[in-house]
Amino acid sequence: MGGDAIAAIPPIYFRLPDYSIAKYWNDMSAAAPNTDFVIYNIPQMSGTTLTPALYAEMRKNPRVIGVKNSSMPTQDIQIFVAESEEDYIVFNGPDEQFISGRVIGAKAGINGTCAVMSDLFLKLNQLIIDKDLGHAKELQHAINSVIYKMVSGRANLYAVTKEILRLNEDLDIGSVRAPVRASI
């Protein structure tokens, strides 16, 4: 088993000061010294927000290559881009905000629903590169409509994603694990 990079959220049970989170991430990075490290900022799930000060501290680690920002305000992407050197990557997280994240400065996205509609996300990305924002906005709205359908049932988004891959791509990668709801 291998990987190109580690992406890690902060510890989620105890509220920790920035220096403790930095130590946690740096210890994890040190355990895989030849592997790039991407900070995963998802405060609505982890309970911890990546602050500019913590991001600055983490950028001292040569294995840190950037941040996946899944916070809801796209302004956070602007902040991380402004704080970063040119060789850092800021990824957009929320699929529903792909256009917003890219336009405000994210270099790319790490998107869960891209697995079931990669052609649409690739087209959306190209429209953004081409600065065809009118068509990009229309396509983002269409993508969002699919996402809203995917989350409208009783199952978890990732259970739905795996089922779509099984049905459309003949790719059976199993389902989600309890306690996440798997039945569609």
CA atoms within 13 A on the CB side of 124: 26
First to last CA, the chain: 31
The H or E element that residue 142 is part of is: helix 133-150
| Bridge-based pairing state of the strands 5-8 and 89-92 | unpaired
**DSSP assignment, residue 95?**
G
Point out the catalytic residue in the list 19, 24, 40, 149.
40
Give yes or no: 88 in active site: no
Buried residues in 21-42 as b, exposed as e (16+ CB within 10 A): bbeebbeebeeeeeebbbbbbb
Residue 103 neighbours by CB under 8 Å, 6+ apart: 128, 133
- 137 counts as catalytic: no
Return contacts of 82-87, CB within 8 angstroms, 24+ apart: 83/52, 83/55, 83/56, 83/59, 84/59, 85/59
DSSP-derived secondary structure for 123-136: HHHHHHHTT-HHHH
13, 19, 60, 68: the active-site residue = 68
Catalogue the active-site residues. 40, 68
